[in-house]
Amino acid sequence: MKLNSGLMELFDQGQTSPNKNKLFGVAEYFLNKIVSEAGESITPLKLQKLVYYAQAWSLAFYNSLFEEDFQAWVHGPVMPGLYIHFKEYGSGNIPKVSSFDSSVFEKEEITVLDLVWSVYGKYDAKYLERLTHIEKPWLDAREGKNQDKQCTNIISKEEIKKYFSGLRKNHDICSEYSLKNMYQI
């Protein structure tokens, strides 16, 4: 599987636009990190959470990685375009991609992606889902909704930035080590 051809297919179907290349580039980064021999895998649910944490920590350290907004779905933050693209895998594993085009990213963005993979990549989708369910941005976006009820409310970038910048400040997070300490990993 090569995301670039799949991405072009979505362009042709009018389901996405070329400016979403960075969003799919983040997904491609994580799918390129899979080491099947080590037992690592990424389901669509796990990919959603990794992309969410990449956006969250990028907002806390620098700026937004991409324009699109997450929605507060039942299973945590979801990017609808990614959901549509990978829904064919259901709860199964998405195959590793053979390459990653880093040219769309700045050096500090790659640093954030590396940090997110290092801290969150080892966890399964359900653990990451539970983690997002105790965090303020998802909870606030779902205010008044039962956790098991459908919701497409936007999780605002401002709320994500505020929450994760607060974590960064309160826990003096400036590196992978300090982020791992926050989670007591």
For 109-121, the pLDDT digits (tens) are 999 999 999 899 9
Q: What is the pLDDT of residues 23-46, one digit of tens each?
A: 999 999 999 998 765 667 899 999
Give the distance from CA 82 to its chain's centroid.
10
pLDDT of the residue at 77: 98
The gap from C-alpha 97 to its chain's centroid, in whole angstroms, comes to 17
Amino acid identity for residue 46 in this structure = K
Task: Write out pLDDT tens, residues 33-83.
Answer: 987 656 678 999 999 999 999 999 999 999 999 999 999 999 999 999 999
Question: What is the layout of strands, in order, in the sheet containing 70-73?
Answer: 76-78, 70-73, 154-155
Element (H, E) at 44: helix 44-61
Task: Return the CA Rg of the chain.
Answer: 16
Question: Are residues 86 and 28 in contact, defined by beta-carbon separation less than 8 angstroms?
Answer: no
> Is the pLDDT score of 3 beyond 80?
no
- What is each CA distance from 120 to 56, 65, 128, in whole angstroms? 13, 18, 8
Q: How far apart are CA 46 and CA 129, in angstroms?
A: 8
Q: Quick one: pLDDT band at residue 12, thresholds 50, 70, 90?
A: very low
| Inter-residue contact 48 to 78 (CB < 8 Å) | yes
pLDDT tens per residue, range 139-184: 999 998 888 899 999 999 999 999 999 998 887 776 555 565 565 5
pLDDT at position 20, please? 56
How far, CA to CA in Å, does 116 sit from each of 61, 80, 113, 119, 180?
12, 21, 5, 5, 10
Query: Over 60: is that where the pLDDT of 5 sits?
Result: no
The DSSP code for 94 is P
- Cβ pair 60, 114 in contact under 8 A: no
Q: CA distances (Å), 135 to each of 64, 146, 159, 181, in order? A: 19, 16, 11, 17
